Amino acid sequence: QLKLVNPSQYRFEHLVTQMKWRLQEGRGEAVYQIGVEDNGLLVGLSEEEMRASLKTLRRMAEKVGADITVLREREVDYDSDVPRKITEVLVRKVPDNQQFLDLRVAVLGNVDSGKSTLLGVLTQGELDNGRGRARLNLFRHLHEIQSGRTSSISFEILGFNSKGEVVNYSDSRTAEEICESSSKMITFIDLAGHHKYLKTTIFGLTSYCPDFAMLVVSANTGIAGTTREHLGLAMALKVPFFIVISKVDLCSKATVERTVKQLERILKQPGCNKLPLLVNSDDDAVTAAQQFAQSPNITPIFTLSSVSGENLDLLKIFLNILPPLTNSKEQEELMQQLTEFQVDEIYTVPEVGTVVGGTLSSGICREGENLVVGPTDDGKFLRLKVCSIQRNRSACRVLRAGQAATLALGPFDRSLLRKGMVMVSPEMNPTICSVFEAEIVLLFHATTFRKGFQVTVHVGNVRQTAIVEKIHGKDKLRTGEKAVVRFRFIKHPEYLKIGAKLLFREGVTKGIGHVTDLQAITTKENGLEESLGPGQLSF
């Protein structure tokens, strides 16, 4: 917008309508640049025009119920004696139908690069003492506390209120209070860095569908161990990532610069084709967040310390402005489809019964809804009822597509459930298969890859061993070759979709690809009717 000085009533209404539309497009967020012409010419405004424009913008925001934060101002060299400024303003309003904007960020990096400590500092609000105090609250198992290594997937939340201030556990808030007082929530998925736990890390990346990934590299060791592998995983699954170089308090400036150069070299390689953007100031952080969302080729790099707190604010500014990837239209379309919920975790909670955690990939799920879950080992789907829903540790009535939550199923028998199942609406008539075909690329393999080979296949939340039945048009595959391959699951049928991304591994063998064809087992054969009783489903 150029300027918004004392608009007429009609113009004001028009501007408010435009702001509503912008907010809806950006799922509750919009950035206004004041002092810029529509064609992008940086004209700038004088002091009083800028003041009047911001006042108008505040009035507009009040009218739609949004809040305003000034991100940055800068002066422009324009042929005039009066200094002229451009201001960027973030307008944020939580959509009426949900509690907060939600972003999921997966945290990757080599073992001991400082992932859990960084999350501890961000979410607890106090700096680390250099010996791992900040990460103790994140660990879930005793052996993790003893060894200091994450082996499971843990979730941490960081909130931002509508003014862009950080809301975390620092003022002894509970998770529910964080949810209530923030308008934007970032859920960090803390993954394991150690090579031994690679399957857990892959599961976290494929099943929890993160919007972004944060790759943590330690400044003193540089790119080592699983860093390259994690970088490759993020690229293969097309998750946009940004990089944090931690522990800069431990080493000299030269060492930090060496690590940055090493990273920049890797990012610019033909395989990556990324454009590194080193963030050194608030201004950079704002630019990085906007550019990163528009073009996934840009990779912001932060250098920070969890002990001295150096540059931590830049990361917070960046996370505050990061817009969600999908726009409102795509989410609306997903919500209109039939319900489908991926089961990632299963718990038994005293006095509640069986609880499943996971992501709703399409549709809407309400409390009290009847769904079917499957496939069981013999390919059946069983009926169940959703008793209650919790999201980020606070109760929630309705779950929308793309949101992660836990559902309580009451007295349903836990032994019938496993990771990788789906809960769908009964009218969906889900396709399940034991045999499927996928177009794959073999990333790395010690010998040749041929018929009869067994690999662990990851597709979304499905993880199972499969046998290679046939490689179309070839006898064997070598590293870097592409082919369409037929796999058969060893144990039980799974629910897959055509076009789903696929990762497989076996020792040092790794490959990626996507599902191209399914040999569906028809529902008549797999006995859905018997398990549901006669006359309830007619196909």
Interior angle at CA 320, CA 315 and CA 221, nearest 5: 20
329-424: in CATH 2.60.120.380 = no
Confidence at 524, pLDDT banded by 50, 70, 90: very low
Query: Which tokens belong to 149?
Result: 């290594």
Q: How far apart are CA 475 and CA 443, in angstroms?
A: 18
What is the pLDDT averaged over residues 287-314? 90
d(CA 152, CA 427): 35
Percent above pLDDT 70 for the chain: 91
- The span from the CA of 72 to the CA of 530, in Å, is 64
Which value, to the nearest 10 degrees, does the dihedral of the CA atoms of residues 495, 498, 499, 502 take?
40
pLDDT in the model for residue 538 = 33
Report pLDDT for 457: 93
pLDDT of 530 strictly over 70: no
With a cut of 80, say whether residue 316 has pLDDT above it: yes
Q: What is the pLDDT of residue 241?
A: 94
373 in Cβ contact with 382 (< 8 Å)? yes
Closest alpha carbon to 50 in 63, 31, 36: 36
Looking at residue 436, its pLDDT comes to 95
The per-residue pLDDT for 77 is 75
Is the model's pLDDT at 189 over the cut of 90?
Answer: no
Pairing of strands 509-521, 462-471: unpaired
pLDDT in tens, 10-33: 999 999 999 998 888 887 888 898
Asked if residue 328 has pLDDT above 70, the reply is no
Q: Does 247 have pLDDT greater than 50?
A: yes
Q: How are the residues of the chain apportioned to helix, strand and coil, as percentages rounded to the nearest 5?
A: 25, 35, 40
Residues of the chain with CATH 3.40.50.300: 101-325
What contacts 165, CB < 8 A, 6 or more positions away?
Answer: none
Tell me where in the chain the CATH 2.40.30.10 domain(s) lie: 329-424, 432-520
Domain with CATH 3.30.110 in the chain: 9-93
Cα–Cα dist 189/401, whole Å: 19
pLDDT tens, position by position, 445-485: 777 788 999 999 999 889 999 999 999 988 888 888 889 99
Give the pLDDT band (50/70/90) at residue 317.
Answer: very high
* 3-class DSSP assignment, residue 331: helix
Q: What is the DSSP string of 426-482?
A: GGG---EEEEEEEEEEEEE-SS-EETT-EEEEEETTEEEEEEEEEETT-SEE-TT-E
CATH 1.20.5 fits 9-93, yes or no: no
Asked whether residue 444 carries a pLDDT value surpassing 90, the answer given is no
Mean pLDDT of all residues belonging to the chain: 85
Domain made up of 101-325: CATH architecture: 3-Layer(aba) Sandwich (3.40)
Crossing angle, helix 9-25 and helix 47-64, to 10 degrees? 70
Given this model, what pLDDT does residue 435 score? 95
Decide if pLDDT at 217 tops 90. yes
Local confidence band at 386 (pLDDT 50, 70, 90 cut-offs): very high
- pLDDT of the residue at 433: 92
pLDDT of residue 151: 61
Q: Which residues of 78-88 are buried (b: 16+ CB within 10 A; e: fewer)?
A: eeeeeebbbbb
Buried b (16+ CB within 10 A) or exposed e, 42-69: eebbeeebbebbbebbeebbeeeebbbb
Highest average pLDDT, of 160-169, 205-214, 417-426, comes from 417-426
DSSP state of 299: E
Yes or no: is domain 432-520 CATH 3.90.25.10?
Answer: no
Can the peptide bond before residue 375 be classed as cis, meaning omega within 30 degrees of 0?
yes
| Amino acid at position 359, single letter | T
Q: Is the pLDDT of residue 535 over 80?
A: no
Strand partners of residue 298: 275
Higher pLDDT, 199 or 420: 420
Q: Which residue has the tokens 């999908």?
A: 326
Helix (H) or strand (E) run with residue 10 in it: helix 9-25
pLDDT at 532 over 70: no
Top pLDDT among 302 and 6 is at 302
- What average pLDDT score do residues 401-425 get? 90
Q: Is the pLDDT of residue 346 over 60?
A: yes
pTM: 0.77
Provide the pLDDT for residue 536: 38
* Percent of the chain predicted with pLDDT > 90: 33
Mean pLDDT value across residues 82-94: 86
| Separation CA 389–CA 363 (nearest Å) | 15
34 or 169, which is more confident: 34
pLDDT tens, residue by residue, 39-72: 878 888 888 889 999 999 999 999 988 888 888 8
Residue 226 pLDDT class (50, 70, 90 cuts): confident
Contact 517, 486 (CB under 8 A): no
Rounded to whole angstroms, how far apart are CA atoms 326 and 335?
13
Write out the two tokens for 227: 């860093």
Higher-pLDDT residue of 523 and 122 is 122
Separation between Cα atoms, residue 193 and residue 529, nearest integer Å: 45
CA distance 191 to 205: 9
CA–CA distance, 444 with 441 (Å, rounded to integer): 9
